Amino acid sequence: MSDPITGLAHMLGQPFIQHALVAGTSIALLSGLVGYFVVLRGQVFAGDALSHVAYAGALAALAAGVDLRFGLFAATIAVGLVLGLLGGRRAADDVVIGTAFAWVLGLGVFFLAIYTTHSATGNSAANVNVLFGSILGISASAASTAAWIAVGLIALLLVLARPLLFASLDPDVARASGVPVRLLGPLFLAIVGATAAEASQAIGALLLFGLLAAPPAAAQRLTDRPWRGFVLSGLLSVLCLWIGVCVAYAAPKLPVSFTIMTTSTVLYAGVVLVTTVRWPAFSRRGGAARP
Amino acid sequence: MSAVLELDRAAVAVAGRTIWSGVSLQVQAGEFVAILGPNGVGKSTLLKAVLGLTPLSGGAMTVLGDRPGHVNGRIGYLPQRRAFDPNTRVRGVDIVRLGLDGDRWGVPLPGRLAGSAGRRARERVEEVIALVGAGAYAGRPIGQCSGGEQQRLLIAQALIRGPELLVLDEPLDSLDVTNQASVSALIRDVCRSQNVAVLLVAHDVNPILPYLDQVIYLAHGGAVMGPPEEVITADTLTMLYGTPIDVLRDRAGRLVVVGQPDAHAEHR
Amino acid sequence: MSVDLTWDLVADVRQLLSYHFMLNALRAGTIVAVVCGAIGYFMVLRRQSFVGHTLAVIGFPGAAGAIWLGVSSGFGYYGFCIAGALVIAALPGGGRAGSGLGGAGEESAVVGTVQGFALACGFLFVSLYKGFLSGLNNLLFGTITGVADHQVITLLIAGVLCLAVLVAIARPLLFVSVDPDVARASGVPVRLVGTVYLVLLGTAAAGASQITGSLLVFALLVAPAATASRLTARPYLGLGLSVLIAVLVTWLGEAFAFFSPYPIGFWVTTLAFGAYLLATGYGLLRERLGRRLVTA
């Protein structure tokens, strides 16, 4: 691949890359948009817990012999709702989350043991795929399903976005002006759970943060405007996925989940560097009110 | 002039414990009213009852001619709070704007797409920010504003829908003396120029004392209401707090309360 | 290995102890449990669960990298966990109690990014070292069969060092964790204490990773401490309880794993979570009874 353009055209001609990009773009956009609120609400740890729940759910489905995605979504959405209800307005106590999700992960290991001992085709490939993702191996039908679910979740998030922002920044006033704060918390964590389930199919349960935490953190450093940051976070996340897929295609030795995660880490580190160096200029510009 | 707020033998219970009962009072449009009293007598609970967030356990309450909780669009609310986290990277203007349309589902359309409605919203945001004099720092992330600056922005948020009643829970807490004076003066100006009734919970009565029309004192599970000259007397206060308190007049004839009413919180 | 559960306690224990690997597992497990119980207590007090989890996970790329390079996995565990602790301590506000939670969204996002990147690196090392994919589960979820004599010695040295340092800084650490501002004013070097504590946490996580696997260390760090703090509000009693619960959970977990086909990680996490639920239930019951006594 001496010529990058030809190389790119060749890459885009590959069906598995097309599937990866269709599923990956929608999942990355979803993760980035959801992640913006996760970071704003300080619920990264809950997101972490939900990604581990995704693992346990997927392995439970494998052990039971049903579709893996069923286990993923059922477990993450249910636990997301429970976490939201337990915590009331804010995220549940971190100790409660931590204790519970350590156990859920133990359950995952339990299902893994059942799966590997009882399944005739018992191999650890499925386990590794759930943990670390397999976007380059996703089938056409799985890709389109993942994309449609992502689109649906994004639509739901857009509907909730403004009251959610209000409730995140200013819960007391939001409640007084009629925002159903108590309802939004669990609902949002259920969306985070569904996002974790989606992302597990792309970059794996363990690497969810590549798309859920790093792009929003970068976006919040780049802009103080909530809606601009919201959109930017989604776009950065998509960018990370594209770059990661391209790099993994060019260097087949590197796993694609690693390249995606590395891209987003480098992106965040770069943003920190740029915003820190240009700090005085930023604060001068931000001095006047521009609503 | 009609009553903005009317309580008739109202009572509130939280977790089975009656906080106060038999409270009857009236607040008229455009009045500046302070709610005073020791810690834990249910000052914040009174505000929450006005907003319909805490139900009455007895008696009746009318807010802006309707039941509490039904007219919150016409009430501006500033809850008791600590400052925003310094890492909150959202601008003051955005916080103010949320007061206008934060409860509407969906995302606001960007810039020109929003059309005349969006332009009106932006103008209204600019208007209230100018009203509270927060123009210089409204574009900064709210976490980086000082306590006084945050308080002004939050008052702008409470004012943005043009409310008929402002409900402020300890807006002067955690402000220094200069900011206490200027924020009190701001609230007074808003009260007079916009004809907004103000219901304000305060710990320290002195900064707002010169502006007050009425005072509500909560203590011993009940309430006393009246003009400051009648309620803020050494005898009444000493009786309410159960600790010696003096009321002095300074050279300009203003009342000053001496003896710290809140130093001895009442535990019941 | 032919193991039968006879339900005769003495015979079962004797059977358990007749295997050298089980003896090693019990020795290593005891050391790890004591250290994790003690260090975890402060982790819960300081609300640094997320940081603790991240440090535990960082051991995975360390071990995978060490195996890929052909050196002992112990180096990888300790090297990466301690380096990770220093990196997190160097982040703005990273050494502070309560970091990684609450309104400080960006801080926890950074910690999360570090965690994700560490796991991704581990996955890279595993895939670069082709033949070793089957060992992945052991790295992540632990095994009781793999503890060698020299590992027990290393664990013991690291554990004793950890506890010695913890004892040395216990009182200022408690002060800083409960009330950082006042502690700073009374001359406690808050930042230094926080950093030293994070290094201790990293060391404890690295040691425990070798028994329970990277993903499940966290159970040993958080659950006994959380259980203890449900049972008592006295700091030093809580510390002792936390250690006791951790040791019990580890012993029972290892014994159950020995007699059952299911891995140690499952048993340890389940027992720990069970203990936490019991303590929570007991706390609620006591509260309700107490209220009834007051109202009566």
Cβ C123–A217 below 8 Å, yes or no? no
How far off is chain B from A69, nearest CA to CA, in Å? 29
CB C132 within 8 A of CB C126: yes
Q: Report, as an integer, the average pLDDT of A72-92.
A: 76
Name the residue type at position C214: S
Cβ C102–B85 below 8 Å, yes or no? yes
List, for residues B2-13, the tens digit of each pLDDT value.
788 999 999 998
Going by pLDDT thresholds of 50, 70 and 90, the confidence category of residue C134 is low
**Residue in A with minimal Cα distance to C253:** A106
CB C125 within 8 A of CB C65: yes
**Chain A residues close to C219, C-beta within 8 Å:** 99, 102-103, 105-106
Cβ C270–A257 below 8 Å, yes or no? no
CB neighbours (10 Å) of residue C17? 11
> Does residue C262 come out as left (phi exceeding 0), alpha (psi in the -120 to 50 range) or beta?
beta
pLDDT at A290 over 60: no
What are B217's strand-pairing partners?
Answer: B36, B224
**Chain B residues close to A177, C-beta within 8 Å:** 72-73, 77, 99, 102-103
List, for residues A137-167, the tens digit of each pLDDT value.
888 888 899 999 999 999 999 999 999 999 9
- For chain A, what is the HEC assignment? CCCHHHHHHHHHHCHHHHHHHHHHHHHHHHHHHHHHHHHHCCCHHHHHHHHHHHHHHHHHHHHHCCCHHHHHHHHHHHHHHHHHHHHCCCCCCHHHHHHHHHHHHHHHHHHHHHHHHHCCCCCCHHHHHHHHCCHHHCCHHHHHHHHHHHHHHHHHHHHHHHHHHHHHHCHHHHHHCCCCHHHHHHHHHHHHHHHHHHHHHHCCHHHCHHHHCHHHHHHHHHCCCHHHHHHHHHHHHHHHHHHHHHHHHHCCCCCHHHHHHHHHHHHHHHHHHHHHHCHHHHHHHCCCCCC
Name the residue type at position C171: R
Q: Supply the ipTM of this predicted assembly.
A: 0.80
Cβ neighbours of residue C4 closer than 8 Å, sequence gap 6 or more: C15
Q: pLDDT at position C163, please?
A: 92
Lowest mean pLDDT among A71-85, A107-121, B123-137, B151-165: A107-121
**Residue in A with minimal Cα distance to C128:** A253
* Start-end of H helices in C129-189: 136-141, 149-178, 180-185
Q: Report, as an integer, the average pLDDT of A245-269.
A: 89
The mean of the pLDDT values for chain A is 83
What percent of chain A lies above the pLDDT cut of 70?
89
Q: pLDDT at position A291, please?
A: 40
CB C220 within 8 A of CB C40: yes
**Residue in C with minimal Cα distance to B17:** C295
Q: pLDDT at position A33, please?
A: 95
List, for residues A11-70, the tens digit of each pLDDT value.
888 888 888 899 999 999 999 999 999 998 888 888 888 888 888 888 888 888 888 888
Cβ B87–C103 below 8 Å, yes or no? yes
The mean of the pLDDT values for chain C is 82
**Chain B residues close to C106, C-beta within 8 Å:** 87, 89
Lowest mean pLDDT among A162-171, A196-205, B75-84, C200-209: B75-84
Cβ A40–B108 below 8 Å, yes or no? no
Cβ neighbours of residue A284 closer than 8 Å, sequence gap 6 or more: none
Q: pLDDT at position C215, please?
A: 76
Q: pLDDT at position A218, please?
A: 92
Q: pLDDT at position A140, please?
A: 87
Q: pLDDT at position A289, please?
A: 39
Cβ A169–B88 below 8 Å, yes or no? yes
Q: How many inter-chain contacts (A to B, CB under 8 Å) are there?
A: 116
List, for residues B136-156, the tens digit of each pLDDT value.
998 888 888 888 888 889 889
List, for residues C260-281, the tens digit of each pLDDT value.
888 888 888 899 999 999 998 8
**Chain C residues close to B88, C-beta within 8 Å:** 103, 105
**Chain C residues close to B85, C-beta within 8 Å:** 102-104
**Chain C residues close to A117, C-beta within 8 Å:** 261
Q: Closest partner residue to A162 among B73, B105, B138, by Cβ?
A: B105
Q: What angle do CA C213, C1, C7 make, to 5 degrees?
A: 90
pTM, full prediction: 0.82
What are B169's strand-pairing partners?
Answer: B201
Q: Report, as an integer, the average pLDDT of A115-123.
A: 63
B99/B105 Cα distance (integer angstroms): 14
Helix axes A68-87, A44-64, angle to 10 degrees: 140
Select the more confidently predicted residue: C101 or B151: B151
Name the residue type at position B172: L
Q: pLDDT at position A282, please?
A: 46
Q: pLDDT at position C104, please?
A: 54
List, for residues C34-57, the tens digit of each pLDDT value.
999 999 999 988 888 888 888 888
B73/A176 Cα distance (integer angstroms): 9
Q: pLDDT at position A278, please?
A: 57
C219–A contact, CB cutoff 8 A:
yes
Q: Report, as an integer, the average pLDDT of A261-270.
A: 92
Q: Closest partner residue to A213 among C49, C101, C113, by Cβ?
A: C113
Q: Report, as an integer, the average pLDDT of B55-59.
A: 89
* Cα of C69 vs its chain's centroid, Å: 26
Select the more confidently predicted residue: A247 or C107: A247
Q: pLDDT at position B268, please?
A: 37
Q: pLDDT at position C93, please?
A: 59
Cβ neighbours of residue C16 closer than 8 Å, sequence gap 6 or more: C22, C255, C258
Cβ neighbours of residue C195 closer than 8 Å, sequence gap 6 or more: C85, C86, C89, C95
Going by pLDDT thresholds of 50, 70 and 90, the confidence category of residue C160 is very high
B179/B25 Cα distance (integer angstroms): 31
Q: How many inter-chain contacts (A to C, CB under 8 Å) are there?
A: 187
List, for residues B91-132, the tens digit of each pLDDT value.
888 888 888 888 877 777 776 777 888 888 889 999 999 988
List, for residues B186-221, the tens digit of each pLDDT value.
899 888 888 899 999 987 788 888 888 998 988 878
Cβ A158–B88 below 8 Å, yes or no? no
pLDDT at C103 over 50: no
**Residue in B with minimal Cα distance to C102:** B85
pLDDT at C130 over 70: no
B133–A contact, CB cutoff 8 A:
no
Cβ C272–A45 below 8 Å, yes or no? no
Q: Closest partner residue to A290 among B96, B108, B139, by Cβ?
A: B139
**Residue labelled with tokens 């340092």:** C165
Which of B70, B105, B157 to mutate to test binding with chain A, by most A CBs within 10 Å of its CB? Answer: B105
> Does residue B9 come out as left (phi exceeding 0), alpha (psi in the -120 to 50 range) or beta?
left
Q: pLDDT at position A233, please?
A: 95
**Chain B residues close to A288, C-beta within 8 Å:** 135-136, 139
Q: pLDDT at position A31, please?
A: 94
**Chain A residues close to B79, C-beta within 8 Å:** 172-173, 176
**Residue in A with minimal Cα distance to B75:** A177
CB B200 within 8 A of CB B187: yes
Q: pLDDT at position B263, please?
A: 45
